[in-house]
Amino acid sequence: MTAHFAPDMQSVAGGAGKALAGNIRLPVNLSDRMTPRQLEIMLMLAEGKVNKQIAYELDVSTATVKVHIRNAITRLGAKNRMNAVAIVAANTAAFYNTVAWAA
Regions of the chain with pLDDT less than 70: 1-27, 94-103
Residue 55 to residue 71: CA distance in whole angstroms: 16
Q: What are phi and psi of 90, to 5 degrees?
A: -65, -40
DSSP percent split of the chain into helix, strand, coil, nearest 5? 65, 5, 30
pLDDT at position 80 is 94
pTM score, whole prediction: 0.67
The strand pair at 24-25 and 19-21 is best described as antiparallel
Domains, the chain, in order of start with CATH, read 16-102 (1.10.10.10)
First to last CA, the chain: 26
Q: Summarize pLDDT for 23-50 with one digit per residue, the tens.
A: 555 567 788 889 999 999 999 999 999 9
